[in-house]
């Protein structure tokens, strides 16, 4: 069984885009895949069909229903804020130990590949004291760090890599997910990050929609797992 934690330098940069693309690619190769996204904010029950968990279920070709979403994303909150604040607004809390237990249970199912998608960036708070970084530090899985190609991503990505290195976390690779309408070139962003990332592979992934499955970058990313 192979497993990877898909994290990011921030929010809305392409973690779910990459995760769903990987699910479809791996399944097309005959690989069994389990995917979870334990914590979700900005989840509107009136339009749950457009949510990230629904996208994961569709990629898995599983029934897309609220019951199925509960199985892959148990901690869901309405406000599009950090999990700790979104939970507080609903009078709820996130039990960190329960999130860890949920992830470990997914890993124990032993499909060929388990993909765990994080929320926001690496330092987004989950509760009063712990962040996504703490969750990754407990699970000790290889990481795929997703970055954008927007102006400013160089500093954000290199800072994230520095923090992950200080926690002795294994970064399997960096995926630069193309940011729409960015003034920065995807190829130049990848080349610059690669110069600073040393032995960590940096791969650019264009926003091609369904056609991304045929892009050679996706195969290179799948090989990181």
Q: Is 195 helix (H, G, I), strand (E, B) or coil?
A: helix
Q: Which two tokens stand for residue 181?
A: 């309408």
The residues pairing with 175 across neighbouring beta strands, listed in sequence order, are 146, 203
For residues 53 and 71, give the distance between their C-alpha atoms in angstroms, rounded to a whole number: 10
Least Cα distance to 55 among 209, 174, 184 occurs for: 209
The yes-or-no answer on residue 15 being catalytic is no
Task: Determine which one of 15, 37, 46, 110 is catalytic.
Answer: 37
Q: What is the dihedral of CA 13, 153, 9, 216, to 10 degrees?
A: 60
Active site residues: 37
């Amino acid at each position: 069984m192979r497993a990877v934690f898909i994290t990011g330098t921030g929010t809305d940069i392409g973690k779910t885009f990459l995760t769903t693309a990987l699910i479809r690619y791996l399944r097309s190769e005959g690989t069994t895949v389990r995917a979870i996204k334990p914590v979700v904010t900005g989840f509107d029950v009136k339009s749950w069909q457009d949510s990230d968990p629904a996208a994961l279920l569709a990629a898995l070709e599983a029934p897309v229903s609220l019951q199925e979403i509960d199985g892959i994303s148990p901690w869901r909150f309405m406000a599009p804020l950090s999990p700790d604040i979104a939970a507080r607004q609903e009078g709820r809390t996130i039990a960190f130990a329960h999130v860890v237990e949920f992830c470990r249970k997914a890993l124990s199912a032993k499909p060929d590949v388990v993909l765990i998608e994080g929320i926001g960036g690496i330092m987004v708070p989950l509760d009063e004291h712990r962040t996504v970084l703490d969750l990754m530090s407990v699970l000790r899985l290889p990481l795929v760090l997703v970055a954008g190609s927007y102006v400013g991503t160089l500093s954000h990505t290199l800072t994230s890599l520095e923090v992950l290195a200080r926690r002795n976390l294994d970064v399997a690779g960096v995926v630069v997910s193309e940011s729409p309408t960015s003034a920065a070139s995807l190829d130049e962003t990848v080349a610059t990050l690669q110069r600073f990332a040393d032995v960590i592979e940096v791969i650019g992934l264009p926003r091609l929609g369904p056609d991304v499955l045929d892009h050679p970058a996706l195969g290179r990313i799948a090989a990181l797992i």
